[in-house]
């Protein structure tokens, strides 16, 4: 079993849709949970992070962690074509990031 599981997609949605991206993880010791966005042939860009369980909102993005079920979510409201990218969840393990496979998102105009 991988430490972090993420549906690779691809996920295609129309512009304006609400997008839900999810990860599950196995290590209950994870405390920090990062979400990165990676455009094709570019390095990952930090979107946001959360500590322990709870929600965090930043503009159109909301990150949610449920430690009891080891489930991480990223919601994108009013999705835009410019949101088309691969989204990577990455719990932090003692300073190391454990990346999921990434979900490829395509937002169609």
Partner 1 sequence: GAVVSQHPSWVICKSGTSVKIECRSLDFQATTMFWYRQFPKQSLMLMATSNEGSKATYEQGVEKDKFLINHASLTLSTLTVTSAHPEDSSFYICSAREASGGATKTQYFGPGTRLLVL
Residues binding partner 1 (CB under 8 A): 8, 32, 34, 36, 41-46, 49, 51, 88, 92, 95-97, 99-102
Q: Which is nearer to partner 1, 51 or 81 (CB)?
A: 51
| Cα–Cα distance measured from residue 80 to residue 51, given in angstroms and rounded to the nearest whole number | 27
Q: Is the peptide bond before 7 cis (omega within 30 degrees of 0)?
A: no
CB of 33 to partner 1, least distance (A): 11
Q: Which is nearer to partner 1, 45 or 66 (CB)?
A: 45
CB of 86 to partner 1, least distance (A): 9
Produce one character per residue of 81-94: b if its CB has 16 or more CB atoms within 10 Å, e if not. eebbbbbbbbbebe
Is the Cβ–Cβ distance between 101 and 35 less than 8 Å? no
CB of 36 to partner 1, least distance (A): 7
Is the Cβ–Cβ distance between 12 and 106 less than 8 Å? yes
Q: Which is nearer to partner 1, 18 or 39 (CB)?
A: 39
């Amino acid at each position: 079993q991988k430490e972090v599981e993420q549906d690779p997609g691809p996920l295609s949605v129309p512009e304006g849709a609400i997008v839900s991206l999810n990860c599950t993880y196995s290590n209950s010791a994870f405390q920090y949970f990062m979400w990165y966005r990676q455009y094709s042939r570019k390095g990952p860009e930090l979107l946001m992070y959360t500590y322990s369980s709870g929600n965090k909102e930043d503009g159109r993005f909301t990150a949610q962690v449920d430690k009891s079920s080891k489930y991480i979510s990223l919601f994108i409201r009013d999705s835009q074509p410019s949101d088309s990218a691969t989204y990577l969840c990455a719990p932090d393990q003692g300073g190391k990031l454990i990346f999921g496979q990434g979900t490829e998102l395509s937002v169609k105009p």
